[in-house]
Structure 1
């Protein structure tokens, strides 16, 4: 993950996944606002587990890149079987991918056996994956004081909200806003990964006073002075704020457009259901009156009165 490709490709995966969840949650809520229940993943018509299969595939590729393809010797261990210092970050990144692979695998198995606690357990698995991600980035072996550390610090805020909303989804399955924020944070993670890939490994985009250096096989950004480092971190903070505003505008605009599109069907169906309910209530009242009338007639017959006597 500590490269341009290592950030851009996972970023695209998170972005597509977050957009897919955001679209489906808004659509589901627009069509069924009263019976909405949050879903940790969404099946497709042709292949039910396509989303989860893609998560497993992406996680497997990431693990292979970190442990077997990326290292020069094509294996992560040293000659004596220990983990070399320059491969520690590879193991940290692979743990994140393994967590998402476990999430997708058990999400499929829980759905296949139709477990009663399927929804809650799947949310827990997602929360564990985000928790692992947050822990690895917080205790990352890479430089926490430099510009890359600042970008990772900002990323941790997004991951922390993803973790929080995943846990809240267990107790609040009917909350659309919890699902909306969680999906938006997954999308934001993808955007920020891509931004990190460009800003930290493209020489022309590195702030003034900072340059790319080779650190034991990994390229990192170092600044020539404290003033240059402070400026670079401030630029990263400003950039993060711009994306917060931009993604918020995008999400609310998407919500309004989809609600306008799908809410029309809801209005028509609601009117039809209301008409049916009124018709059923009217029928019930009429049948109740009829039953009462027949009961009174039968009671009079039992007491010796003929039906024509009632008419008189």
Structure 2
């Protein structure tokens, strides 16, 4: 995630999902404002497996990110040292992978519950999504704890957006008919992706500068 591709790829994913949620949230509210209810994910109008395109995108993106962080990008393509310890230079890889793991878990449970028609408790998927956002918020806070100046400021903006995602996701459990909460959460997901896209070129420039030093 510390490279240009590592920022752009998840950024595009968050932007697409954010726009998809914005579209469906506004459409559902416009069609039936009195019966509006928030949803953790939205199926497509297509029949068959294409109905779960959003969940497939989350699962594919999360799995690809985990593979890139642990087995593609690390030196010698393995995350652990010869003594099975975690090298300090690979700690960020494990941090980013743990974030993706929670999103993968959320999407997998949502897909299984829908395909198998399981009666999951109300709000369970929102809780799993909240766990993913809380993990993301915690690790990005610890990741940027020693950042100063401009870098610290734009990492603070990311934490703010993730915090909004977390709060709105939890609020949707208690106020499932709130259009405003669902709208703000969808916008926060979009802006989280936009943050990654905008900071992608900055990460490339900083890595070049570090190599020159």
Q: Provide the rounded CA distance (Å) in 2 between the counterparts of 1:10 and 1:162.
A: 16
Q: 2:173 aligns with which of 160, 164, 170?
A: 170
Q: Which runs of 4+ in 1 moved over 6 A?
A: none
Of residues 212, 218, 223 in structure 1, which corresponds to 2:209?
A: 212
1:24-63 aligned at under 5 Å gives the runs 24-46=24-46, 47-63=50-66
TM-score, normalization by structure 2 = 0.92
- CA distances 1:23-78 after superposition (whole Å, capped 9, x unpaired): 00000000000100111101112222111011000000000000000012101001
Matches within 5 A, 1:237-252: none
- Measure the CA separation in 2 of the matches of 1:40 and 1:123: 6
Give aligned pairs, total: 209
Long gaps (5+) in structure 1: 223-312
Match of 2:109 among 97, 106, 110: 106
**Per-residue deviation at 1:153?**
1.6
Counterpart in 2 of 1:196?
199
Name the counterpart of 2:190: 187
Q: C-alpha displacement at 1:146, in angstroms?
A: 5.2
Unaligned stretches of 5+ residues in structure 2? none
Measure, in 2, the Cα distance between the counterparts of 1:143 and 1:57: 32
CA contact (8 A) 1:88 1:141 kept: no
1:213 alignment partner, SS class = helix
Matches within 5 A, 1:1-312: 1-46=1-46, 47-111=50-114, 112-115=116-119, 117=121, 119-140=122-143, 143-145=146-148, 147-202=150-205, 212-214=209-211
Q: CA deviation at 1:109?
A: 2.0
Identify which range, 41-50 or 107-116, moves more after superposition. 107-116
Q: Tell me how far apart the structure 2 counterparts of residues 84 and 149 of structure 1 sit (CA, whole Å).
A: 25
Please tell me whether the aligned partners of residues 2 and 203 of structure 2 are also in contact (alpha carbons under 8 angstroms).
Answer: no
Q: Deviations over 1:96-145 (max 9, x none)?
A: 1001000000111222333152x410111111110010011011178522
> After superposition, what is the alpha-carbon deviation per residue over 1:235-287, rounded to whole angstroms, capped at 9, x for unaligned?
xxxxxxxxxxxxxxxxxxxxxxxxxxxxxxxxxxxxxxxxxxxxxxxxxxxxx
Contact 1:89 1:141 in 2 (8 A): no
3-state SS of 2:210 partner: strand
Higher relative contact order (CA 8 A, sep 6+): 2
The CA RMSD measured in Å over matched residues stands at: 2.0
